[in-house]
Structure 1
């Protein structure tokens, strides 16, 4: 058996199986019960240093005479 054919068959069968297992592992890891706190912390991390709410449309309004 030549090297190319062997590697092609290996990638077609075991490569697909490995990628499927990795995808399923990532999905299970993301949706595990203990992940909620970590995901909420990451989602709200951009608001950690906010001291006051943003001013509504004030910088974008033109001055009226």
Structure 2
């Protein structure tokens, strides 16, 4: 294999994983943040509304 390809693949595997873990943590923190509870509760009741 080409050494440049191997280096690029290792970089992508390592930092790609770190990037996706960081994004997952940010999304998880957003979803579980206490001040967002009311907003998510209201959104959960949207299908039950009779407009």
Q: TM-score range by the shorter chain?
A: 0.7 to 0.9
Could you state the TM-score of these two structures normalised by the residue count of structure 1?
Answer: 0.66
Q: What is the 5 A alignment of 1:12-31?
A: 12-31=13-32
How far off is 1:25 after superposition? 0.7
- Structure whose alpha-carbon radius of gyration is higher: 1
Q: Which runs of 4+ in 1 moved over 2 A?
A: none
The unaligned stretches of length 5 or more in structure 1 are: 51-65
Decide which structure has greater helix share. 2
Shift of 1:6: 2.1
Question: Higher relative contact order at CA 8 Å, sep ≥6: structure 1 or structure 2?
Answer: 2
Query: Given the two structures, how large is their TM-score scaled by the length of structure 2?
Result: 0.80
> 1:47 & 1:19 partners in 2: Cα distance?
34
